[in-house]
Structure 1
Amino acid sequence: MSDSVLTLEDVTLRLDGNAGPVEILHGIDLTVRQGEAVGLVGPSGSGKSSLLMIMGGLERATSGKVIALGRDLTALDEDALALFRRDNMGVVFQSFHLIPTMTALENVATPLELAGHRDAFDRAAVELDAVGLKHRAEHYPSQLSGGEQQRVALARALAPRPAILLADEPTGNLDAATGASIVELLFGMARDRGSTLVMVTHAPELADRCDRVVPLADGRIAEADARRAAE
């Protein structure tokens, strides 16, 4: 795992709040290598989700560089970022973010269609089958349980075979048993598809499954892990 997939260099994030500018991230240096599963952990407000969004180009860093697969995301405009994410990244959110007016099959097929795959629906059906939801393909999100919705979201994120999979508290809205099944799918499918996984989590059992854990506190990588994060 010597190849760098994601590199952050002195990344900062400052957002405007009601009381003035708020410093969210301070000088983050981090390298994620191909095939790794990295867990971002820390208390609420430590900057975990903000860091993940910056990695995916969903939030702009105030300063510093974000290099993904050799591309400087900080130098790309919004259109170029969207194309880069489409072709290289999958994102799984805590709250699923499925399109309510589309069936499970249509939700999974959408990113494949946007990428120009003529067999989008065939591939989407294969991915739904992989997460055990072949029989729910024509159901809408409102007709699915929370665990089923997250399985659809996972299938959608991984259907394009992204090099990088970002997950923000993927089991946060699920009960323990359902969350455990999602964890097995998440790690298994990412491994089978060769995706590098970066995940925000509060759950110790998820962090323990990762190859490396990067703890954050007050918008900084915790000193004890700084060397491991930069190795």
Structure 2
Amino acid sequence: MTEPVLALTDARLTLDGNAGPVEILKGITLSVARGETLGMIGPSGSGKSSLLMLMGGLERATGGTVTALGHDLTAMDEDALARFRRGNMGVVFQSFHLIPTMTALENVAVPLELAGVPDAFDRAEAELAAVGLASRMHHYPSQMSGGEQQRVALARAAAPRPAILLADEPTGNLDGANGAAIMDMLFGLRDRHGATLILVTHAPELAARCDRVVRLADGRVAGEGLAA
């Protein structure tokens, strides 16, 4: 059997709240195959985004293990996690997280330069063209619509050719038409680069496009498939 791209075993996350420790994830065991598209759904507060953050090493599990591409993320320090993410993962958030003082081209190219990619600006241009922004490369985020900003964020996530794409409500701040276009592009990036895609969404129609859907409730996996 092929080793999974991502595997969580009894993964737990407890964070400190005002009234004491809050158990966010309560023992998640889950694996994702190479090239699979996994949708994660569930009500607000069910732990979807927290689970995605564990998968990306952006939150550290307080129990259990999280393995990505054969590497134990729970054993890495912050610097090692940052290096691992830079080379292997692309993350797209609901908020675009663009640097306002940089053009679209710079927002995509600078992370590549920091990673030592020799053709950073050429690759950034190609990725922006792939998401329909060839004519907007030299515009700043404030000069772009929400849909355009999210396309820049997609290009930035895809430019390092990551093995794993993580998307947390990527259409949450967009209207229906822009949201549909962003999802088409996200699935297109997956197909073009052969990435494994993990998608958190509230939208059943988006989850339905995934190979597999996991439902979360109260910090646990409640089942698979769209139907409760």
Q: TM-score, normalised by structure 2?
A: 0.97
**Separation of aligned partners in 2, 1:111 and 1:39:** 27
1:158 aligns with 2:158: yes
Identity of aligned residues (%): 75
Residue equivalent to 2:170: 170
Residue in 2 aligned with 1:229? none
Pair 1:36 & 2:36 matched: yes
Residue identity matched to 1:66: V
Segments of 5+ residues of structure 1 without an aligned counterpart are 227-231
Q: Quick one: distance in 2 between partners of 1:158 and 1:87? A: 11
Confirm whether residue 182 of structure 1 aligns to residue 174 of structure 2. no
| CA RMSD across the alignment | 1.1
Correspondences of 1:189-208 after superposition (within 5 Å): 189-208=189-208
Give the partner amino acid of 2:15.
L
Q: What's the offset of the Cα at 1:15?
A: 0.6
Q: For residue 141 of structure 2, what is the amino acid of its counterpart? A: P
Q: Does 1:225 align with 2:217?
A: no
What pairs up with 1:1-231 in 2 under 5 angstroms?
2-222=2-222, 224-225=223-224
**Distance in structure 2 (CA, Å) of the matches to 1:195 and 1:3:** 15
Read off the aligned partner of 1:174 and give its amino acid letter.
L
1:72-115 Cα offsets, whole Å, 9 max, x none, are 00000000000000000000000010011100000011221111
Secondary structure in 1 matching 2:5:
strand
Q: Could you tell me which runs of 5 or more consecutive residues in structure 2 were left unpaired when the two chains were aligned.
A: none
Aligned length: 225
Q: For residue 17 of structure 2, what is the amino acid of its counterpart?
A: G
Give 3-state SS (helix, strand or coil) of 2:208's partner: helix
* Structure 2 Cα separation of the partners of residues 199 and 54 of structure 1: 14
Question: In structure 2, what residue type is equivalent to 1:155?
Answer: A
Displacement over 4 Å in runs of 4+ = none
Does the CA contact (< 8 Å) of 2:212 and 2:224 recur in 1?
no
CA distance in 1, matches of 2:25, 2:183: 28
Deviation for aligned residue 1:3: 3.7
| Cα drift, residue 225 of structure 1 | 2.9
| 8 A contact 2:88–2:163 mirrored in 1 | yes
Q: How many angstroms apart in 2 are the aligned matches of 1:211 and 1:225?
A: 11
